[in-house]
Amino acid sequence: MVTLKHLAEQLNVSISTVSKALHDSNEISPDTIERVKALAKFLNYKPNQLAVSLKNSKTNTIGVIIPNILNHFFAKALFAIEQEATKQGYNIITCVSNEKHSKEINSLQLLSNGSVDGFIMSIAEETQVANKVDHINAILNQNIPIVLFDRVSDDIDCGKVIIDDFGAAYEATKYLLSEGRKNIILLSRIDELSVGKLRAKGYFKALDDDTTYNEEPNCITISHDESIEERIEALLTKNKKIDGIVAVDNTTGVIALHKALKLNINVPKDLSIIGFSDENVLQFTDPKLSTVSQHTLDIGKASVEMLINKLKDKSSVQNTTKTIKAKLILRGTTK
Amino acid sequence: MVTLKHLAEQLNVSISTVSKALHDSNEISPDTIERVKALAKFLNYKPNQLAVSLKNSKTNTIGVIIPNILNHFFAKALFAIEQEATKQGYNIITCVSNEKHSKEINSLQLLSNGSVDGFIMSIAEETQVANKVDHINAILNQNIPIVLFDRVSDDIDCGKVIIDDFGAAYEATKYLLSEGRKNIILLSRIDELSVGKLRAKGYFKALDDDTTYNEEPNCITISHDESIEERIEALLTKNKKIDGIVAVDNTTGVIALHKALKLNINVPKDLSIIGFSDENVLQFTDPKLSTVSQHTLDIGKASVEMLINKLKDKSSVQNTTKTIKAKLILRGTTK
DNA sequence: CTGAAAGCGCTAACAT
DNA sequence: ATGTTAGCGCTTTCAG
């Protein structure tokens, strides 16, 4: 590895002269600057980032901790985070918590020792269910900024980027009501997550606000050890009155669609479905699933922006919560 | 941030004593070791990784460069890489090339300056199509190890982890032949990638080896600016004789299945489909897609193992190519 | 058993 | 305009 020392020796100048020359310092003569730069280029000199970081107490690296990279939402968020971070001259170190509280603690510990300037994270399911957030607050107390996205907690005082989960589910439900649906169920595999709870609330509120709607709200929650497919197939087989589905997680909407098609239910004539899957590979179905688009790219981008803002001016930047507007995208499974 | 210096001052010993004590050096008295450790724990001391890395010229970090994280195969590989790396005490820094040659060069440059000990990567489409691999060889010449997985190049001399693409496609095609299929087409959106070429070869060879097969091989390649869905729908509509499909990329198999169902083609009675999609969310279809499983987790794991081996003993470890066996998983779209 | 000192590669305040 | 020096936090050799 080529170092400043090498260059200095070759050129018979001091290390600091080389350093200054490479930074275009006006303390150095144009002539020297040129010579230094020429040699640096020739030898393909690149400053050792470790040394720079150590010296400056700044790594230009963001730690990203996501619960599950096989979940398309998080993969997409990571994509956006990586893209925006790169654009702003930051690297990312990625850790996957795998929804485990302990892994989240480890990652946070591991990276908070000078490896990163701050964190962008979405909290693990275990963490959220138990609402054990001491480990996160400990990092904040060390004055390392964190931005939470999507899955957040009221017990953590930091920057947050979320979507309007309540409003999005409210709008989705209202849309089905406006189609004249009389038997709208909610499907959720994320009952225990903050976003799941909020979306359920939106659904309840929408039904509640509609004075002409007579049915009881029907909230189908599916646990992790259940077969989603069997459960949904049974549901649609038994309860023929269902004419609207609001699926508030990643996959149940698509599965419901597949099962409806299999059971020869006419979608969207006799059954409307709205999912939360975002536009992705899942949508090679025919008809295509209508969804609430979560603007995942915007979420990632906004998270990076918020964190970098904080990094640039730690003291004065207030902790804010940014809400990214979700949007109903009507495709083939709604009228 | 708590440093060795802090601990030393508090305890009225030297910095080196503290350092040695924390490493259980037998130069230090048990008593001192205990006192040091107690205080370290109390103050939640964590060694600054940057300083350790700088000192040791070793970062315990692996740079991972993947072409596209929204591709489920790469997301899964990344998952496995992260998991195995963590297990072995390594962090990963992730960059996404987005299939761009220039971005790949940037990432490599950026991280090769002391930030990582080595790389695991799958090369970008642009890089592979043009076979411009100088940037990668430049890194290897700096004595920074690289392990390539899935998409590799003969012009790069380094560790490689691949699947037996030729054999896998050969077996898949042979299976359809054994079902008695008489009109088997190949579907590919990755015609220009090394893996795509090998899989196509396997398909050709299998047909060629079967003396009773009379049709010409029919290799449908779909370019990036085409609508895959329209193309496949048109294909299945026009050519009713097709009774077998080998889809050698991530998505065309699933799309073919959807279109076949839409067109009321009986799968697998009148048409068999084998994809390369790996078991994933795509398979909420009914029937489920039969696929060639690429053992993606094994690929990721093997890549990490190979790289760490090389890191541990740079000089003596030979560059090998490890082939992970692919496996035909028969589900619902084959007889 | 403990400590002083050098050095990883870099930056920057402070000479000259 | 250039050089000297100190120091970021750590490890490690060498002296005591």
B7-CA/D10-C1' distance, Å:
13
Domain formed by B59-162+296-324, architecture: 3-Layer(aba) Sandwich (3.40)
The Cα–Cα gap between B195 and B248 comes to 9
pLDDT tens string B249-282: 988 998 999 899 889 999 999 999 999 987 665 6
Nearest to A79 among B1, B54, B69 (CB): B69
Across B47-58, average pLDDT:
94
B contacts of A1 (beta carbons < 8 Å): 113-114, 142
Tokens standing for residue A327: 């949007």
- Main-chain phi, psi angles of A315, to 5 degrees: -75, -50
Nucleotides of C under 7 A from a protein CB: 1-5, 7-15
DSSP string, B278-315: -SSGGGGSSSPPEEEE--HHHHHHHHHHHHHHHHHTTT
pLDDT tens string A178-187: 999 999 999 9
The answer to whether A169 touches A163, Cβ cutoff 8 Å, is no
Q: Looking at residue A166, what is its pLDDT?
A: 96
With a cut of 90, say whether residue B322 has pLDDT above it: yes
Q: Select the CATH number that applies to the domain covering B165-294 from these four: 3.40.50.150, 1.10.357.10, 3.40.50.620, 3.40.50.2300.
A: 3.40.50.2300
What ranges do the domains of chain B cover?
Answer: 4-47, 59-162+296-324, 165-294
Interchain CB contact of B110 with A (< 8 Å): yes
Strand pairing report for B290-293 and B327-329: antiparallel
Tokens standing for residue B328: 């035909």
Q: Looking at residue B212, what is its pLDDT?
A: 94
The answer to whether A260 touches A267, Cβ cutoff 8 Å, is yes
Interchain CB contact of B59 with A (< 8 Å): yes
The answer to whether B226 touches B259, Cβ cutoff 8 Å, is no
The Cα–Cα gap between B115 and A115 comes to 10
Across A39-58, average pLDDT:
94
**Cβ <8 Å between B72 and A281:** yes
Interchain CB contact of B111 with A (< 8 Å): yes
Q: What is the pTM of this model?
A: 0.91
Q: Looking at residue A281, what is its pLDDT?
A: 55
**Cβ <8 Å between B281 and A72:** yes
Nucleotides of D under 7 A from a protein CB: 1-5, 7-14
Nearest to B76 among A70, A82, A251 (CB): A70
How many CB atoms lie under 10 A from the CB of residue A3?
A: 16
Q: Looking at residue A217, what is its pLDDT?
A: 95
pLDDT tens string B83-132: 999 999 999 998 899 999 999 999 998 899 889 999 999 999 999 999 99
Strand partners, A95: A65
Give the C-alpha distances (Å, rounded to integers) separating B134 from A285, B128, B131, B177.
42, 12, 9, 42
pLDDT tens string A243-295: 999 999 988 998 999 899 889 999 999 999 999 987 665 667 788 899 999 99
The Cα–Cα gap between A320 and B184 comes to 58
pLDDT tens string A214-232: 899 999 999 988 888 899 9
Question: Same CATH fold, A165-294 and A59-162+296-324?
Answer: yes
Interchain CB contact of A58 with B (< 8 Å): no
pLDDT tens string A61-107: 999 999 999 888 999 999 999 999 999 999 999 889 999 999 999 99
Token pair 């899942």: residue:
A282
Protein residues with Cβ atoms closer than 7 angstroms to any atom of nucleic acid strand C: A 1, 3-5, 15-16, 19-20, 22-23, 27, 47-48, 51-52, 54-56; B 12-17, 20, 25-32, 51, 54-55, 57, 114
**Cβ <8 Å between A91 and B91:** no
Minimum CA–CA partner of A284 in chain B: B255
The answer to whether A181 touches A161, Cβ cutoff 8 Å, is no
pLDDT > 70: percent of chain A: 99
A contacts of B109 (beta carbons < 8 Å): 46
Q: Looking at residue B313, what is its pLDDT?
A: 83
Interchain CB contact of A78 with B (< 8 Å): yes
Q: From its phi and psi, is residue A31 left (phi > 0), alpha (psi between -120 and 50) or beta?
A: alpha
**Cβ <8 Å between B142 and A1:** yes
Q: Looking at residue B251, what is its pLDDT?
A: 87
Minimum CA–CA partner of A87 in chain B: B103
